[in-house]
Structure 1
Amino acid sequence: MSQAVLSLARILVVVLFCVSGAQKLMNPAGVVGAVSGKGLPYPEVLAYLTIAAELGLGLLIALGFYARAASVLLAVFTVATIVFFHNFWSMTGDAARTNQIQALKNLSIVGGLLMIAAAGPGRFALNRR
């Protein structure tokens, strides 16, 4: 049973990334705009890297294919989103409160991703590295 729970947890941790990545894939111009709005360089490149990270790494983890490596990469990506997009420490009022919640949510997700990296994908995976 614990192997089934581990596999289910692995999938549930990345549902958010897969859905978000698929939505971004349908509107890459919106992602470019969001990246541009933060003043980051090469917004087109970063937009497509974002889509690849969310959808690609999310699917790898969900399938259990190189899940350890993919979860570490997705954790790094998620920390970067906290720093560049949910930087509540430089905001005030409602924006600060909303982004603090988003940052803490992302930090919790990073914890789940690191658990996958530590425990592996479980028995029900395309590979068990």
Structure 2
Amino acid sequence: MFKTLQNPLSFASRLLLAALFLPAGIGKLTGFAGTVGYIASVGLPLPAVGAALALVVEIVGSLALIAGFGTRIAALVLAAFTLVASFFFHAYWAVPADQQLVVQLLFFKNIAVVGGLLSVAAWGAGGWSLDARREA
């Protein structure tokens, strides 16, 4: 039974992961100045470069997941990006105790997303993808 569901489940997982990153990337594009300010507020250097890099990673990575094109690489890049961003933007250990719960939930949500992306990187896009068409 699961063999017959492999392709639709792989496709659904790619779409659901992209649903997290594509709106975030578009939001960074349309609200670039706010994104730069937010990055600067955590003390990262070159916030405009960081914002541009983040929006490219999120938008291009999402489109790659949706199409299933270069899926393994896109998943690895998004996983690395998410892991690094989690330590800078969801550092629950560095916020006051009354704010830790929500920030900690966001941190571990991102860790789970990294796990999903690593699974996509390990297993590939599935049969319903441009990667599968190229391999055929």
Cα offset, 1:103, TM superposition = 0.3
Matched, 1:81 2:85: yes
Unpaired stretches in structure 1, ≥5 consecutive residues: none
Greater radius of gyration (CA): 2
Partner of 1:52: 56
SS of structure 2 residue aligned to 1:41:
coil
Cα offset, 1:119, TM superposition = 0.7
RMSD: 1.2
Cα offset, 1:93, TM superposition = 2.3
Partner of 2:45: 41
Q: Distance in 1 between matches of 2:101 and 2:38?
A: 20
Identity of aligned residues (%): 36
SS of structure 2 residue aligned to 1:124:
coil
Partner of 2:20: 16
1:2 corresponds, among 2, 6, 12, to: 6
Q: Deviations over 1:3-39 (max 9, x none)?
A: 1111111111221101111111111101100110011
Give the TM-score normalised by structure 2.
0.90
Unpaired stretches in structure 2, ≥5 consecutive residues: none
Cα offset, 1:44, TM superposition = 0.5
1:123 corresponds, among 100, 124, 127, to: 127
Q: Deviations over 1:29-59 (max 9, x none)?
A: 0110011001101110000001011111111
Cα offset, 1:90, TM superposition = 1.3
Matched, 1:105 2:128: no
Cα offset, 1:126, TM superposition = 1.3
Partner of 2:97: 93
Q: Distance in 2 between matches of 1:25 and 1:53?
A: 12
Moved segments of 4+, more than 3 Å:
none
Cα offset, 1:94, TM superposition = 3.0
